[in-house]
Amino acid sequence: MAEVNGVTGTNAGPEVMYTMSEEEVSLTREEMENMSKEAITIWWSTVIKAVVSSSSSEEMKNILHNFLSSAVKEMVKSYGSKRTMELMGPMMRQGGKKAAVRALEGHEIVERDGIAISSLIDLWEGALGVRGTIVEKTEISVIKVAKECPFANQPPELCALFGKFVDGFCEVINPEYGWCQTHKMSAGDRECRWVCKKES
């Protein structure tokens, strides 16, 4: 009977006792950052798959909400707001680009204008459980107001990261259009409000 790395088993040869030292189990800051980024990547890939498959399972939404909220909250706590955005911003923007490619492959988008972009963003938000209304819709700009959001009491960095995702999304669909959040419940506002408009 032998115990290796804390696991006891038979037919393991002479009795061996080995315990990992603190140095062997401790992680460097870079390793922790890479693990955090990988966790967010896995989460976002799951969201994309859920939207593509039109999954509206409440259980799935709760899992996604809890995972993302916990991951972002822990990153902000460990690295601070600025470093969290530096680490996750580029990755989320790249994720938005990939989502746009999938959207173009899976949907017949004739006019790549603000209305088309906003409709797709609205689809993503719906999959995340955000409930709102488009209050203005023209070829120049689209405005949406949401008063129900499962992330309302979460760190505002979470909303900022979603904004980076949408930036990448717009860049692929039509770089002439931009997207910005003017109000965020996560920042203390009474509602969430975003604008998608032509910038050039």
d(CA 104, CA 96): 12
Per-residue pLDDT reduced to its tens digit, 32-69: 667 766 766 666 666 656 554 555 567 766 777 777 78
| pLDDT greater than 90 at residue 132 | yes
Neighbours of 106 (CB within 10 A): 10
Tell me if 10 is assigned to some domain: no
d(CA 15, CA 151): 53
Neighbours of 162 (CB within 10 A): 24
Q: Binning pLDDT at 50, 70 and 90, where does residue 199 land?
A: confident
Q: Binning pLDDT at 50, 70 and 90, where does residue 129 land?
A: confident
H or E stretch at 157: helix 156-173
pLDDT score for 24: 47
Tell me if 73 is assigned to some domain: yes
Grouping H, G, I as helix, E, B as strand and the rest as coil, residue 132 is: strand
Tell me if 24 is assigned to some domain: no
Q: Does the pTM of the predicted model rise above 0.85?
A: no
Number of folded domains that form the chain:
1
Tell me if 18 is assigned to some domain: no
d(CA 122, CA 131): 9
- Torsion sign across C-alpha atoms 123, 160, 181, 97: negative
Tell me if 115 is assigned to some domain: yes
Question: Are 114 and 166 contacting, i.e. CB atoms less than 8 angstroms apart?
Answer: no
Neighbours of 38 (CB within 10 A): 11
Task: CATH number of the domain at 71, please.
Answer: 3.30.1380.20
Grouping H, G, I as helix, E, B as strand and the rest as coil, residue 147 is: strand
| pLDDT greater than 80 at residue 200 | no
Tell me if 63 is assigned to some domain: yes
Strand partners, 4: 7, 18
Strand partners, 17: 3
Strand ranges in the chain using DSSP code E only, listed in sequence order:
2-4, 7-9, 17-18, 131-137, 141-148, 177-183, 192-198
- Mean pLDDT of the chain, nearest integer: 78
pLDDT score for 146: 96
Task: Enumerate residues 6+ apart whose C-beta is below 8 A from 133.
Answer: 144, 145, 146
Tell me if 8 is assigned to some domain: no
| Sheet of 141-148, strands arranged across | 131-137, 141-148, 192-198, 177-183
pLDDT score for 53: 53
Tell me if 5 is assigned to some domain: no
pLDDT score for 31: 75
Question: Are 149 and 130 contacting, i.e. CB atoms less than 8 angstroms apart?
Answer: yes
Average pLDDT estimate for 84-111: 83
pLDDT score for 75: 84
Average pLDDT estimate for 149-168: 90
Domain residues for 59?
29-198
